[in-house]
Amino acid sequence: MMSFCEKCHDMAEYTVSERKKTKSIKGKEIQYSGKEAYCSECGNEIFVAEVRDYNLQMLDKAFREQEKLISVSDIERILKKYNIGKRPLSLLLGWGEGTLTRYLNGDIPTKLYSDTLKRILIDEKYMTQILEQNKEQITAHAYGLCEQALGKIDQEIAQNTFELENEDKIDSVVKYLLIHCSEITPMALQKLLYYAQGFYKVFNGEYLFKDDCEAWVHGPVYRNIYYRYKDHGYNPIEENTTEYGSIELTETEEEILNSVITNFGCYSGKTLKRMIHTETPWMVTRKGLGEHEGSDRIIHKELLADYFSKLKSKYNMLNIFDIKDYSMDLFRKLYH
């Protein structure tokens, strides 16, 4: 990298260093992270066009952040989101037809104009209102493209809302278990769902989710959940749980799940399998089947409710935390 050094009166190589810089804009001190270039021969600061451009970009970014003004990239997102050009959007807003072009080229909008653009970016209904009120200001073609984009957004929102409203409770339970259990395998997940269903019923009088489990060779299985995670085999399930968003569970439901996680989530899938194989619901449902014989027999909820109700009485469980006695007793019987 070379540039002209006024002190050396010649082209010279240079080095670049990061510097905290301050610039006064409209009477306000703006701090930003910039760069400076220095001649490798004499150490004198020299002018480099790329360094100047970088500093201007960083200054612009810092100023907009400090003043809470919309960024150029967000203005570009608006145009793409609503499939509308710079000139049509300017006209819809009652601005000069070149206003958005100037903003995209680096001019800084006023706070009022910036707030308008910020609202448009996140509020599709507001954009629809502006489009319908001022559609006479733009061509029919521009109107049609924007209307179509808004229609597509409405469809996506409706679909997302539908999926959220119709998400089965078992899906929320699965997400909660995956977030709060470390290295949970598909087999262990199935067993924790089984225990969560049983204990929730006896402590709350209703079932946690509507799904039935089947008495497979290796224990109770919720078929839809099995097919969702079967590719993980005997390995822990790895999902990006940060993408789950909100999980629709009540405080009571979370309390039950936390106790199940604490008292049964500490065991491996194979240990949980051995535990359940000693329990009435699985044994009664598998009656007459060979040890390795496949089956899709349903472990009926009534059978589950009856068994866990008897457990509650036998171990004098006053609250959900008392399931600890049962889990420890079951483990000792298997391994001692």
Cα(129)–Cα(110) distance, integer angstroms: 22
For residue range 155-167, what is the model confidence (pLDDT) as tens digits?
Answer: 888 776 655 554 5
Calculate mean pLDDT across residues 268-288. 94
At 27, is the secondary structure helix, strand, or coil?
Answer: coil
Q: Where in the chain are all domains bearing CATH 3.10.20?
A: 2-67
For residue range 101-112, what is the model confidence (pLDDT) as tens digits?
Answer: 999 998 989 999
Q: In this predicted structure, what is the pLDDT of residue 166?
A: 44
Res 202 pLDDT > 90: yes
Half-sphere exposure of 1 (CA within 13 A, CB side): 13
Q: In this predicted structure, what is the pLDDT of residue 26?
A: 79
Q: In this predicted structure, what is the pLDDT of residue 167?
A: 55
Q: In this predicted structure, what is the pLDDT of residue 334?
A: 86
Calculate mean pLDDT across residues 74-91. 96
Look at the alpha carbons of 122, 124, 126, 131 in this order and tell me if their dihedral is positive or negative: positive
Q: In this predicted structure, what is the pLDDT of residue 163?
A: 52
| 54-91 CB burial, b ≥16 within 10 A, e <16 | ebeebbbbbbbeeeebbbbebbeebeebbebbbbbbbb
For residue range 286-304, what is the model confidence (pLDDT) as tens digits?
Answer: 999 998 999 999 999 999 9
Cα(166)–Cα(136) distance, integer angstroms: 40
AA letter at 242? T
AA letter at 211? D
Kindly report the number of other CB atoms within 10 A of residue 293's CB atom.
9
> Over the chain, what is the mean pLDDT?
92
Q: In this predicted structure, what is the pLDDT of residue 142?
A: 96
Q: CA nearest 204: which of 254, 279, 247, 168?
A: 254
For residue range 29-64, what is the model confidence (pLDDT) as tens digits?
Answer: 999 999 999 999 999 999 999 999 999 989 998 998
CA 57 to chain centre: 31
Cα(57)–Cα(293) distance, integer angstroms: 69
Cα(326)–Cα(142) distance, integer angstroms: 68
Cα(97)–Cα(224) distance, integer angstroms: 55
Q: CA nearest 212: which of 178, 250, 168?
A: 168
For residue range 98-154, what is the model confidence (pLDDT) as tens digits?
Answer: 999 999 998 989 999 999 999 999 999 999 999 999 999 999 999 999 999 999 998
Q: What fold is seen in the domain 2-67?
A: Ubiquitin-like (UB roll) (3.10.20)
Calculate mean pLDDT across residues 252-274. 94
